Amino acid sequence: MVFEWIRTIIVLPGTVLVFLPALLLYLTDYRWKFSSLPLFAAGIVLLCAGLSLAGWTMWLFGKKGRGTPAPWNPPKKLVIEGPYRHVRNPMITSVLILLIAETLLLDSWLPMGVFALFLGSNMLYFPFVEEKGLEKRFGQDYLAYKREVPRWLPRMTPFKPASDDTPGLDSPD
């Protein structure tokens, strides 16, 4: 299972947060410069927030969902706990926060290009691919969750599933 998580992290967020920004910076002959303490400090705060949210959501997928964020090993249970009670895609939110942190820490707008590409591709992928698969795997439980919890912008009050008091609903296999 540890190998699955390492592979998942390297392939998914690793590509978006490390490989693509590094490639863009390399191709543009980027040289780091320190320009502003407040922006750098904001970058550190966002880095910590993004890493915390990413770690929390991945932990929930492993512990409650019994799977990974990777399509080759998806969760076997629907995870409706923690940040998933407020927004359907908090992992994507964590990556977006981390890309903003990179922009501030590197003092370069290039990571924002990756941000736009990543957000745009996910705005297409989730409604047309990901959600269709979740509807098939988790049926009515996911449909009820989808009706109540926004895809991108968090709801203020946490969602509580009507069909179960305990988050992590079983997949109808």
Give the residue-averaged pLDDT of 96-120.
96
Q: Are 30 and 107 in contact (CB under 8 A)?
A: no
Give the residue-averaged pLDDT of 52-65.
94
User: Does position 92 have pLDDT exceeding 80, yes or no?
Assistant: yes
- The range of the structural domain enclosing residue 72 comes to 50-170
Give the start-end residues of each E strand in 19-172: 77-78, 169-170
Within a domain: 155:
yes
**CA-based max dimension of the chain:** 55
pLDDT winner (highest mean) among 32-36, 69-73, 129-133 = 129-133
Work out how many domains the chain is built from and give that number: 1
Q: Is 138 helix (H, G, I), strand (E, B) or coil?
A: helix
Paired with 169 in beta bridges are 78
Residue with tokens 């990556």: 95
Residue 86's pLDDT is 97
Of all residues in the chain, the percent with pLDDT exceeding 70 is: 93
User: Does position 172 have pLDDT exceeding 80, yes or no?
Assistant: no
Q: Mean pLDDT over all residues of the chain?
A: 91
User: Does position 96 have pLDDT exceeding 90, yes or no?
Assistant: yes
User: Does position 43 have pLDDT exceeding 60, yes or no?
Assistant: yes
Within a domain: 13:
no
Of 2-11, 56-65, 120-129, the poorest mean pLDDT is in: 2-11
Within a domain: 153:
yes
Within a domain: 10:
no
